[in-house]
Amino acid sequence: MKANIRKIAVFVEETQSEMGRKVDPPTRRAAAVAVIENPCAGKYVEDLSELMTIGEELGELLAQRAVAALGISAHTAESYGKAAAVGENGEIEHAAAILHPKLGAPVRKVLGKGAALIPSSKKRGGLGVALDIPLGHKDAAFVRSHFDGMEVRINDAPRANEIMVAVAITDSGRPLARVGGLTKDQIKGEDGLR
Amino acid sequence: MPEVAVRKKLTAVEEIFHEGGPAVKVPLRRAVALVVIRNPYAGSFVPDIEGFMDDLKPLGLDLAKSLVKALGGDATMVEGYGKGAIVGSAGELEHGALWHVPGGYAMREVLGGAKAIVASTKKVGGPGTRLDVPITHINASYVRSHFDAMEVGLADAPRADEILLALVMTTGPRVHARVGGLKASEIKGEDGLR
């Protein structure tokens, strides 16, 4: 492993009712978050390939952790998202280097598929910063019931020279989704959009 | 007997490899199980609330078991514990105190008769309120290496008429514990203190 991981946190949320109405089956979503040393902290580094490699490693590790926490077989995952928070001695570009070039392929490999873009967010922040991980259907970005977001935070991260990297995976859309649009049983799942 | 109406659950597991010092061979694991329930006493003063403690017992057991499962399924791995509650704004602090018996005894039962008092905290707060749940050794409260705390919370809970209940378990001492005091290897484990 290239990444120097200080800690890994895995969160699983299960919503069983909303406004007194039962959610059946409950909606479930998991986020796996790694807190790593930022090898490029504190200085300008032109070539960010080390972070790209770290992103590739973390894509596989975090997707596996999230799926395991949901206790589902990977191919039944329905939506996904990713995010990173860079500590104060790093650049937003460091988050981009981890998230965008190489993290997605191993996530899709773990899930067996994933035609859609993996929605993402990034920020720079201090300890305890809240990371809002956007979520979208993994095979068809226009599935409206699966547009969502999951907030995660770790009170002691990211330290100044660290990066928090998160992958979120669900087995469902929003609880009691009812604003129309494309539904998951209408998708083709080929172009990543519909 | 009011019904225990669950809206949502969260489990989170942290796996800590190091905190700037040498990485430990067996990473420390800390897990929290949160449940958000309707507060049956929200909005008015109800003199007699004690019966709800019995109603919460199955939920306590359910949470305690889910924590052991999240930590790998072996109850003998668990060395620290704690509990807490956040009462939504239409409730009173005393409603959080209803969790002491069902939360604490559930963990002791699942862990095979742990001796130490379960460290706890509680407060009234709005959605997104964070709670620092104190943690101590399960058989001897004075074990200094196991004094710890885990910050927990949920972005959308507790709503005004809800209570967020938390149980926490850990698998060992702080990752770089080195401030002396009673060691886990020195305890008698009879009186719950030493």
Place of tokens 């790998």: B72
What is the predicted pLDDT for the residue at B193? 93
**In contact, B104 and B171? CB cutoff 8 Å:** no
Domain count, chain A: 1
Question: In which element (H, E) is residue B55 found?
Answer: helix B52-70
A193 in any annotated domain: no
Long-range interactions of A13-16: CB distance < 8 A, separation 24+: A13/A150, A13/B8, A13/B9, A13/B10, A13/B154, A14/B8, A14/B9, A14/B10, A15/A175, A15/B7, A15/B8, A16/B6, A16/B7, A16/B8, A16/B9
Residue numbers of the domain that contains A129: 5-186
A-B Cβ pairs (cutoff 8 Å, strict): 53
Interface mutation target, options B6, B15, B131, chain A, most CBs of A under 10 Å: B15
pLDDT at B56 over 90: yes
> Residue B158 above 90 pLDDT?
yes
Residue B56 phi, psi dihedral angles, 5° rounding: -85, -10
CATH code: domain B6-186 is 3.30.1330.110
**Read out DSSP for B72-107?**
TS-GGG--EEEEEEEE-TTS-HHHHHTTHHHHHHHH
Question: pLDDT tens, A121-140?
Answer: 999 999 999 999 999 999 99
How large is the average pLDDT for residues B104-118?
95
Q: What average pLDDT is seen over chain B?
A: 96
Given an 8 Å threshold on Cβ–Cβ distance, is B8 in contact with A16? yes
Closest CA of chain B from A194, distance in Å: 30
Tokens representing A153 are: 């935070």
Does A16 reach chain B within 8 Å, measured CB to CB?
A: yes
**pLDDT for residue B63:** 98
The continuous run of DSSP H or E covering B68 comes out as: helix B52-70
pLDDT at B113: 86
Separation of CA B156 from chain center: 19
What's the pLDDT at B1? 64
Alpha helices in chain A (DSSP H): 49-70, 92-99, 104-111
Looking at the domain assignment, is residue A144 inside a domain?
yes
Mean pLDDT across chain A, nearest whole number?
Answer: 96
Q: Is the peptide bond before B158 cis (omega within 30 degrees of 0)?
A: yes
Rounded to two decimals, the ipTM of the complex is 0.84
What's the confidence (pLDDT) of residue B6? 97
Give the integer Cα–Cα distance in Å for A3 and B40: 48
> Residue A1: what pLDDT?
79
pLDDT digits over A11-51, tens only?
A: 999 999 999 999 999 999 999 999 999 999 999 999 999 99
CB of A11 within 8 Å of any CB in chain B? yes
Distance of CA B93 to the CA centre of its chain: 17
* Chain B positions in Cβ-Cβ contact with residue A8 (cut-off 8 Å): 14-15, 17
Distance between CA atoms of residues A171 and A78, nearest Å: 5
B-chain CB neighbours of A15 within 8 Å are: 7-8
Average pLDDT over residues A78-82: 98
CB-based contact (8 Å) between A68 and chain B? no
Alpha carbon of A4: minimum distance to chain B alpha carbons (Å): 9
Separation CA B97–CA B122 (nearest Å): 8
- Characterize the bridge pairing of strands A21-37 and A162-170: antiparallel
Chain A residues within an 8 Å CB radius of B162: none
The string of pLDDT tens digits covering residues B62-78 is 999 999 999 999 999 99
Average pLDDT over residues B171-176: 96
User: Does some domain include residue A192?
Assistant: no
The CATH number given to whatever domain includes residue A92 is: 3.30.1330.110
Average of per-residue pLDDT across B66-95: 96
User: Is A8 an 8 Å CB contact of chain B?
Assistant: yes
Average pLDDT over residues A112-119: 95
Which residues in chain B touch residue A66, judged by CB atoms under 8 angstroms apart? none
Whether the per-residue pLDDT at B2 is higher than 80: the answer is no
CA B66, B71, B75, B77: dihedral to nearest 10 degrees? -160
- Does A65 fall in a domain? yes
